[in-house]
Amino acid sequence: MRIIIAGPPKAGNVWLKCILGHIYDLRPLTNRETPQRPQFQLFKEWVAAGGFPDGTVFHQHYDYSNELADMIEAIPAHAVTIIRDPYDGFVSSYFTIQQHKDDGLRSGRRTDVMLGKPLSDPAVLDYLRNGGFRNNMRRALEWKDSGRTHVVRYEKLHSDPIAELRAITDQIAPLPDEKIAAAVEVCSAENMRKMGGEKSKHVRA
C-alpha cells in the first residue's frame, strides 16, 4: 500500500500522516526521499525512478490536476486530503511564519509583510484582503471537489477521530476500530512532541 496526502499546508498533514502510517504500518518518507517541490513533472520523474516504494506514506502540497490523480491511481496509490477551517489554517500559517522571523529562511517571500507583526496588524489584514491565503483555499476546494481523493475534515478528526478515520479506511482497506484508536493515541499531540523531528515541529495544540 502507498498513501499520498495531498492538499493545502497547515491543515494537519503531519498529524494525519502519523495516524495513517500507524494504522496501515506504513513508513513515512523523509524530506530527502520525496520530490524537492510539489510539481507534477518532478512527481512523475520520481515515481518513474522508483521513489515511491510500497509500504510508505508521504505528504506534499500539490495542486490538483487530472493528470496527477491519474498517475496516483496508476501507481497504484491512495490520495488523501485533509481540509481545515480556513481561518484556523491561516492562524496556524501566521504562527509558523513568526517562528521563522529570525532565521532568514523566509526572506523574499510574499508573507514577509507579516513578520514580527501582531495578527490584528493592518499589514496582516491587507495580506488577507489582497488574496494572500487564496491559493491554500483553492487547493483544498479543488481536491475536495475532484472526487478523486479521500477527504478528512480536521475538525472532525479532533471531535470524533474514530468515525472520521473509519469513513476513509472503509474505502482504503477496512480494519477494526481498535487499530484506529491505537494509531490516534500514538499520534496524540503529546506523543508527537516526544517523537521530535518533523512531528514535534508541527504540533502547537
The total of other beta-carbon atoms located within 10 Å of residue 182's CB is: 13
CA distance 168 to 3: 12
Q: Which domains does the chain have, with CATH numbers?
A: 2-85+137-201 (3.40.50.300)
| pLDDT for position 103 | 64
Q: What is the pTM of this model?
A: 0.86
CA distance 48 to 62: 18
| pLDDT for position 98 | 87
Q: Which of 32, 24, 83, 87 is nearest to 56 (CA)?
A: 24
What are the pLDDT digits (tens) for 10-26?
999 999 999 999 999 99
| pLDDT for position 188 | 93
| pLDDT for position 133 | 86
Residues in the chain: 205
CA distance 21 to 3: 9
First to last CA, the chain: 30
Q: Which of 68, 36, 189 is nearest to 139 (CA)?
A: 68
| pLDDT for position 4 | 99
* φ, ψ (nearest 5 deg) of residue 17: -60, -40
Q: What is the pLDDT along the chain (205 residues), one digit of tens a residue?
A: 999 999 999 999 999 999 999 999 999 999 999 999 999 999 999 999 999 999 999 999 999 999 999 999 999 999 999 999 999 999 988 888 888 776 665 556 788 889 889 999 999 999 888 888 888 999 999 999 999 999 999 999 999 999 999 999 999 999 999 999 999 999 998 899 887 665 545 555 5
CB 152 within 8 A of CB 80: yes
The total of other beta-carbon atoms located within 10 Å of residue 191's CB is: 14
Q: H or E stretch including 2?
A: strand 2-6
Which three cell numbers mark 151? Answer: 477527504
| pLDDT for position 14 | 96
